[in-house]
Each structure stands twice: as C-alpha cells, then as structure tokens.
Amino acid sequence: MAVQRGLLYTKDHEWAKVAGDTATVGITDYAQEQLGEIVFVEPPKVGKEFGVHKELAVVESSKAASDVYCPIAGKVAEVNSELEAKPELINEDCYGKGWICKLKITDKKSVKDLMDAKKYEEYLGTL
C-alpha cells in the first residue's frame, strides 16, 4: 500500500496536495484498495463551497458506495472529468490521474489539521 510523500492526509483516507491557495484532492491507495474496483464517481459541482469533513463526492465500487469528505475548506475550482468515462483511474493511479477535484482553499487554518505521510503511515498501522 503506497503512501506518497509531499501530500497531506485525513483519517477518512483522503489526500490533498496543496500548492499555493489550491488543493488537489483524491482518495488514498488504502481507500481504493478497500473499495475494490471503482465503477462510478460522482464529483462535486464546480463553484460549490465545502467545509472540512463535508461530503464532497461519492465513489462507487463493485463492493459499496463511499462518501469522499472534504479535507480542506474550499470552493471547487475544477473536477477531473476523465473519471466520468474512466472511474478506474482511481484504482490505477489514485495519487496521479485519479484525482477527484481541485479546491480554491477558503480557510488556510484547515490545512494544519491534516497528517503528513509519516503520521498517516503510523495511523494506518493502527487499523
């Protein structure tokens, strides 16, 4: 199970890559592995604003549907439209081509509550 350095993580297994006032968001390798084969992604609407831990998207697999929670308070600036036709990108490359959306960060303080890769690995060890 891969944990990528340079990203920030939640206990709900979302990741965020922060660059300036934008955060790219997706689900972790652990999450996609637990879900199994992903068959559908319902992304958020561009322009919609989300608080921390609010339901951002839904990912459906052959096993179950799972909510994706917003790791950082922000407004959706872009969604990964490739996931409409190819939801399996999350299984294939969850930290790259399988990103779900990009947020314009509206509350910089919310970034401080996320775990770095080392802390997330330690957290995974407790599951």
Give, for 118, the enclosing helix (H) or strand (E).
helix 117-124
Fold of 8-114: OB fold (Dihydrolipoamide Acetyltransferase, E2P) (2.40.50)
pLDDT tens string 17-70: 999 999 999 999 999 999 999 999 999 999 999 999 999 999 999 888 999 999
Q: Look at residue 45 in the predicted model and tell me its pLDDT.
A: 97
Exposed/middle/buried for 93, CB within 10 Å: 0-12, 13-18, 19+?
A: middle
Q: Is the pLDDT of residue 1 over 90?
A: no
Q: What are the b/e assignments for 95-118, b being 16+ CB within 10 Å?
A: beebbbbbbebeeeebbeebbeee
CA–CA distance from 72 to each of 2, 3, 35, 120 (Å)?
22, 19, 23, 16
Domain-wise residue ranges, the chain: 8-114
| 60 closest CA partner among 77, 31, 40 | 40
The owner of tokens 């968001």 is 25
